Each structure stands twice: as structure tokens, then as C-alpha cells.
Structure 1
């Protein structure tokens, strides 16, 4: 008879795997669906209603274009949990344990920098300079409003004892800074890295896998299209 303190391995509760946080580009998804719908519509029209070599050319173009559009719009995603960062780019899937990640950088693109010095671009989290500009404008407006409120509080404070300025200032200080959406996502990833980078469960080797499910159809379409054009 086993006691609760000496459970057999089969009787121990199974620890669930860490759930991924998934980050994708909404505009990329929408744009990809629209482009794919257009390509399929035009391609099927040429395929079934075209004459001569047109159906074969339409088929070759579809085999080439559909995987490429999928790769650059629908496919990119970033998956993060307590153990690792998994980056699904157009043609590669990179698994980065937090212990092998040096830092996450944001410039004109968002990148993961490994401890070995290798850089990996995060296609699913594109940088929007326009969104950053809007966020900066909102911060500037908020700062200007806070300054005007503080000046008004000081004027009224001279008459009513100064309570208004401190109350208004406290309310403004509690407001969260305005950030672009992709910058918020990068902050979340940096927080995960800081919390789990030294943990034992977040160690391991970086693995990179080529996306042959995208490359092989696209290459087949390119070869077929080249043959048709050369023999035409």
C-alpha cells in the first residue's frame, strides 16, 4: 500500500504544458486573405475559360504565387511561453529557449538576438512607424494637458490651499504611457525573457527548420512556369 508521500510515477498528476501566447499581424492576415481570394478567382477563371497555353500558365502561376502569398501574410506568427520563443517566419521556424536569447531589439524591424550573435527577424510583429508617431503625439498631448492642469492647480492652490494641484498630479501620474501596439508586444516578450531566462526549464539549444511545405510547391510552380515560357 502506497502512502500519499510516496506516489508511484503513474499516479502523479500530469503537469500541463505551458500555454503559448500567440502574436500575429491582423493586417497581414486580412491582406493575405484578400490577395489569395483574388489570385484564386483570376487563376480559376483563366484555368477553366482560357484557351491554348493559358490554362497551363494560370496553373503554374497559382502554384507559385499561392505558397508565397501564404508564407508572407498568413504564415508568420510568434509563439511564446515560459520555456521558449518560437518564431514562424515565411521560410523558417526558429525555436529559441529563453536561456539562449540575449535580447529583443526594436528599430525599423523587431528582432530576436541570440547569445551567439545571430539575429532573427520577427515577421509576425512588424514595426509601424505611423503607429509610433501617433503614440508619441498622444504622449505629447497628455503631457501638455498635465502641464496646463498643474498650472491651473497652482493658481487655485494659492486661494484654496493647494489641494487641487496634488490631487490632479496624482491622477495623471497613475496613467499608463501610450505605446504602439507592436511595442507593447515586444515589452511582453521582454518581460517573459527577464522572468524565465535563467530558469532551468528555459534552457536548451536553438533549432531551425526550413519550411519545405512552402518551398517545394513554390519551386515546382517556378520550374513549371519557366518551362512553359521557354518552350512557348
Structure 2
């Protein structure tokens, strides 16, 4: 009688990889798209209808302005994952493993501090003093028994996407105080830091990369525009 061979255990499915939380500014993106559309409209019109050196000046101006507009409006974002925080600012991309993050600070701008003492601004999570005042008024109203009111035609959907309103809006929590949305985002980042800082996969070094795809075209456009304007 033959003895059946032991069967090897079936391979376990890989653990699902959680997606990064992405914090961007839809209001900034909308403004950037409008500015880009205006710049392209005026620039293309100058290229098509301009005479003499005007088309070349328009092309140089577009090469200079379009990357800068995109850098300050469409580009900024914060990606918070289980192992790291990636900050995409206008001209740099900073990757900070959670083990290298010391703290977050919210004053007139939202910032992250590395263990080395270096400070990086979170461009895509702007501070809104108006939003904080609005949140304080709603909290006072709720404490007085009036209850919070949801304002805005978006019904709570605003600057930072599907959850909550924009930096200028107040977020209403049934079991907590009313806070501006940017402050709530910073609270979420602090909670994620506390939960993931000691994790083995959260170790590593801070890396900073310059956004040459923004810097190089803008520099070339600036030089070309200066030369064309100087030549006349």
C-alpha cells in the first residue's frame, strides 16, 4: 500500500496593499486650470496673430509661465501611506519614512518636521484663518444648543475632495468639536504618525528630489524671454 504524499500548503494570497491617502486642493486645481487656459488662449493668439518677434516672445512667455502656474496650483499634493509620507511641493518632492518624522505643526502654514530638524511646508494643505474662525463660530453655536449648520452648495464636499469641505470650511463631527478641514487633516496625519512611527517598514532616510520637469522649462523660458525683450 502506498502512503499518500503530504500536500504542500496552498500559497497564501498576498496581503492587500493599502492605498495612500491623498490630500490635494481642488480649489487650487480649479484656479490653476483657469489660469492655464487663459495663458494658453492669450499665448496661442499671440503666436498665430502676432507679427515680428511677438510670436517668439509669446512662446518664451508660455514656456516660462505654464510650468510655474502648474507648480503652484495643480502639482502640490500630500500622499500619506502606511510606511511613508510623500510631500509634493511646487519645486521639490520630499519622501519621509514615518520613522523620520518628528512632528507636525499648524500655525500660519502647515509643516512637517523631520528628526534631523529640517522643516517642510505642506503646500497642498493650506491654513485658512477664515475657516478656523468659521469653525469656532459653529462650535460656539453648537455649545449654545443651536446645532451646527452645513453651509455651501457642495453639501460638505469641497477643497480636499470627497471627505469634508475645503480649507475654508468647517467640519462637523457628532462626537467632537467643529474644526476647520485643514486642521482635521493635520490631526489625521498626527494619528498616522503615532500609529506607524515605530513600525519596522517605516524606517529609512529622508530623500529630497528637485522637480527638474518644472525648473528646467521655466528657466529656459525665462532666459529666452529676457533675451528677446533685450534684443527688442
> Does the alignment reach a TM-score above 0.5?
yes
What is the distance in 2 between the residues matched to 1:38 and 1:84?
Answer: 37
SS in 2 for 1:182: helix
Match status 1:3 vs 2:12: no
Does 2:204 match 1:208? no
Backbone CA RMSD of aligned residues: 1.6
Residues 70-95 of structure 1: CA deviation (Å, up to 9, x unaligned):
00000000000110100000000000
Q: How many residues align?
A: 201
Tell me the secondary structure at the aligned position of residue 145 of structure 1.
coil
Partner of 2:157: none
The aligned residue for residue 122 of structure 2 is: 122
Larger Rg, first or second structure (1 or 2) = 1
- Give the corresponding residue for 1:197: 197
1:87 equivalent to 2:92? Answer no
Alpha-carbon shift at residue 53 of structure 1 (Å): 1.2
Runs of 5+ unmatched residues, structure 2: 1-5, 147-172
1:38 aligns with 2:43: no
Match of 1:155 in 2: none
Q: Distance in 2 between matches of 1:84 and 1:92?
A: 16
Alpha-carbon distance, 1:35 to partner: 0.3
- Relative to total residues, which structure has the larger helix share, 1 or 2? 1
Matches within 5 A, 1:106-145: 106-145=106-145
Distance 1:231 1:218 in 2: 20
Q: Deviations over 1:58-80 (max 9, x none)?
A: 11100000000000000000000
Instruction: Provide the C-alpha distance between the structure 2 equivalents of 1:32 and 1:69, rounded to a whole number of angstroms.
Output: 6
Cα distance change of structure 1 residues 181 and 174 upon mapping to structure 2, 3 Å threshold = closer
- Who is 1:163 aligned against? none
Q: Where does residue 162 of structure 1 map in the other structure?
A: none
Map Cα deviations across residues 163-192 of structure 1 (whole Å, 9 max, x no partner). Answer: xxxxxxxxxx96421010111111111110
Shift in Å, 1:16: 3.9
Q: Distance in 2 between matches of 1:226 and 1:98?
A: 44
- The whole-number CA distance in structure 1 between the counterparts of 2:230 and 2:191 is 54
CA distance in 1, matches of 2:133, 2:107: 14
Q: Deviation at 1:43? A: 0.4
Once the two structures are superposed, residues 149-174 of structure 1 have per-residue CA deviations (whole angstroms, 9 ceiling, x without a partner) of: xxxxxxxxxxxxxxxxxxxxxxxx96
Q: Deviations over 1:12-60 (max 9, x none)?
A: 5333433111000111001000000000000000110011111111111
Contiguous gaps of at least 5 residues in structure 1: 147-172
Q: TM-score by structure 1 length?
A: 0.83
